[in-house]
Amino acid sequence: MLTELQQQKLTRYFRVYDIDDDGRIGPADFERVIENVRLLHGLNAESPAHQRLREGYASRWDHMRTVADKDADGGVDVEEWLTYWDSVLADDAQFDAEVAVLESRFFEIFDIDEDGFIGPDEFCNFFSCYGMSAAMARQIFMDLDADGDGAVSHQELMEMAREFYRGDNPNAPGNLLFGPLGG
């Protein structure tokens, strides 16, 4: 069972994924992110790198459609999303696998200078690709970067992700990973 705080966090996460704000996560939302990431990396639409990017997101959507779209209507609504995460969180192996995939894809896409850390500008890029404001991203980055060295490592991001998905502490900075709750 998801706690109330987990439901709030996962609902926030849902809104981030539902970029076109139609109440469902579907292919159209993925298309928008792919296009934003393509522009971020300055990729030619015909390039192999763009093709790999598309394939990565396509397999992510395929996975989500298969496991989360229970009524098979081609979109994942918020109830289906919460049910999906409830089952992922109940299974340690599945949870670890899910977070590892998301974490490594995050670095692949947003660690633009490939130094192995996410800096404030890179974190802003992530928010922008999902249609959120850079000012909000900067504020949240300061909260996430607990030791204030201006960088978030792989390990720190993994910890935040675990805190975000699993934690039930209302004051944990990782709660803000996808923006303020309730917003």
> What is the nearest approach in angstroms of Ca ion to the Cβ of residue 29?
4
24-25 and 76-77 strand pairing: antiparallel
Cβ nearer to Ca ion, comparing 111 with 163: 111
> What is the nearest approach in angstroms of Ca ion to the Cβ of residue 116?
7
Cβ nearer to Ca ion, comparing 82 with 172: 82
Find the part of the chain contacting Ca ion (CB under 5 A) among 43-51, 86-94, 110-118, 169-177: 110-118
Cβ nearer to Ca ion, comparing 4 with 113: 113
Cβ nearer to Ca ion, comparing 73 with 108: 73
Please give the residue ranges that form the binding site for Ca ion (CB under 5 A).
18, 20, 22, 24, 29, 69, 71, 73, 111, 113, 115, 117
